[in-house]
Structure 1
Amino acid sequence: MSEKNREGKRTARERLAVEREKQKAADKRRRALIVGATVAAVLGLAAVIGVVAANAGKDDSEATGPVVAPSGAQGKDGLAIAVGKDSAKSTLTVWEDFRCPACKAFEQAYRPVIHELTEAGQLKVEYHLVRLIDGNMGGAGSGASANAAACAQDAGKFAAYHDVLFDNQPAEADDAYADSDRLIELAGKVDGLDTPAFRTCVEDGTHDGWVEKSNEAFQKGGYSGTPTVLLGDKNIYQDQTMTPAKLKQMVQEAAKG
């Protein structure tokens, strides 16, 4: 073979090698584009899933339903259930949780004096119901019992049912008040409360949204815990010198003045 022919074949091989390298490079770029498009699609799908999940979370947080205040609710945003006469010179604001042991202790110590003063028209009590223990211990008993108490307010039986719930309070870790049957059973201790309307209200959670709104107000208020008991603007529960006798004296003096 002549030198000229050998040179021609060598040049052809070199051109072929160059074309092969170009093809490899093109294939590599194409694969990169495919991978990039796939990643983008996956990321896009993840973003959509994230939005759906976020929206699902929002729906869960709003699962308590509409805010339906109990009959006669008073105070800011209608979040207080009042006991006593509006004309009373003193107002006691009480934030309570029916699962809270400290709330039960307060009720046992101060209830006789509070009843005496409200019946005498000297004290008005505004009860705000919260579900603090549900958040701390888990469960739903705080919210369910608060809803049931609001249902009792609809029937004009709040004060009596309020006392029954604290008198029969389960152990803090026992979520017995999450059971509608138990709440309805306790209504039997209050004359005229266990009616079809009350049962429906309890079972349907009619006032769950209202309880949630009350609980949010408690959190925004910056209170340290339950019970929080205010006489006017003074937190008497934090006053180590406060006693039922002292509270009675303060209220009676205000009534005279």
Structure 2
Amino acid sequence: MSEKNRDGKRSARERLAQEREKQRAKDRRRRGLIVGGAVVGVLALAAVIGVIAANSGGEKNTASGPVTAPQGAVGKDSLAIPVGKDGAKSTLTVWEDFRCPACKAFEDGYRTTIHQLTASGKLKVEYHLATLIDKNLRGSGSLRAANAAACAQDAGKFTPYHDVLYENQPPETNDAYADNTKLIALAGKVSGLVTPGFRTCVNDGSHDSWVKKSNDAFQAGGFQGTPTVLLNGKNVYANQSNPLTPAKLKQMVEAAGTQ
């Protein structure tokens, strides 16, 4: 074989080897892209799962803990704290928030009348506790005060402590009731309320989940705000064209008692 032919065959072999090497390089790059894409996909999926898990965990945390109703609570899911005699002909349903200034105005204006009607056996009141101000203005004073009031119910002291909380209500933007120490100090105004059991109940948030469930019920009820006041199921406090007064409330309750 001539030298020229040998050189030609060698060149052909070299070109073929080069082409094969190029093809192998392309294959390696393609495999790398496929693997890299798979890794990115796995990481992205893991991130999504992580977000879902985190969100799910957050939802669980907000409703964590057993729902422990205060002693004597009544109604659906035991979400109402009753005041008055069971045999009363009329029932006043009151949805309130201890940080709500309008609730304080209602209590200040109607407290004496309501006490007189419940004491006479003509009216029973069912209090439902909400935490709207905590959500609207941020904070936890509505929740903490409601839990403390539920603890007072356990001790048979709900009504006087309920009144003390409204009589000493801080400004709406001042989340003073977020401090359990403040709530326990105010409980000192109610004879016999401050006991080790009451302190533990307040500090441990024993009824927090119950308060949250009560607030959920308020939201589900479609009510417009606090206070919401219903007499025998009829909203008697929202009619601005014919506003309720303590005298009208007394008249309606007494009229119902004669039926």
Give the TM-score, by structure 1 length: 0.94
2:34 counterpart residue number = 33
* Residue pair 2:63, 2:212 contacting (<8 A) in 1 also: no
**What is the RMSD computed on CA atoms of the aligned residues?**
1.6
| Residue 20 (1) aligns with residue 21 (2) | yes
The code of the aligned residue for 1:156 comes to G
Aligned-partner residue type, residue 67 of structure 1: V
Choose which of 234, 254, 257 in structure 1 pairs with 2:256: 254
Q: What amino acid does structure 1 have at the position aligned with 2:256?
A: A
Question: How far 1:51 sits from its partner (Å)?
Answer: 4.2
Give me the whole-angstrom Cα distance separating, in 2, the residues matched to 1:61 and 1:197. Answer: 25
Counterpart for residue 11 of structure 2: 10
Q: Render the CA deviation track for 1:65-117: whole Å, top value 9, x for unaligned.
A: 21111111111111111111111111100000000000000111111111111
Counterparts of 1:137-216 in structure 2 under 5 Å? Answer: 137-216=137-216
Q: Deviating runs (4+, > 4 A) in structure 1?
A: none
2:196, 2:250 → 1: CA distance? 39
Question: 1:44, 1:108 → 2: CA distance?
Answer: 57
Q: Which residue of 1 aligns with 2:80?
A: 80
Gaps of 5+ in 2: none
Amino acid in structure 2 at the alignment position of 1:33: I
Residues 98, 142 of structure 2: 8 Å contact kept:
yes
State the SS of the aligned residue for 2:128.
Answer: strand
Q: Distance in 2 between matches of 1:82 and 1:19?
A: 89
State the number of aligned residues: 256
- Residues 15-64 of structure 1, C-alpha deviations (whole Å, 9 max, x = no match): 1232122122222122113312321331343244234313421332223x
Deviating more after overlay: 193-202 vs 25-34: 25-34
1:7 positional shift: 2.9
Alpha-carbon separation, structure 1, partners of 2:250 and 2:56: 51
In the other structure, the counterpart of 1:61 is 62
Equivalent-residue separation in structure 1 for 2:43 and 2:209 (angstroms): 39
Structure-2 separation of matches of 1:192 and 1:53: 44
Q: Please state whether the residue corresponding to 1:25 is helix, strand or coil.
A: helix
Measure, in 1, the Cα distance between the counterparts of 2:4 and 2:204. Answer: 100
User: Once the 2 structures are TM-superposed, how far is the Cα of residue 139 of structure 1 from its aligned partner?
Assistant: 0.7
For residues 146-174 of structure 1, give each alpha carbon's deviation from its aligned partner in whole angstroms, at most 9, with x where no partner exists.
01111111111111110000000001011
Give the TM-score normalised by the residue count of structure 2.
0.93
How many percent identity over aligned positions?
56
Aligned residue in 1 for 2:51 = 50
Distance 1:89 1:135 in 2: 36
Residue in structure 2 matched with residue 123 of structure 1 by the alignment:
123
Using the alignment, how far apart are the partners of 2:149 and 2:208 within structure 1?
A: 11
Q: Which amino acid aligns with 1:255?
A: G
Query: What SS class does the counterpart of residue 237 from structure 1 fall into?
Result: coil
| Structure 1: stretches of 5+ with no match in the other structure | none
The offset of 1:3, in angstroms, is 4.4
Q: CA deviation at 1:6?
A: 4.2
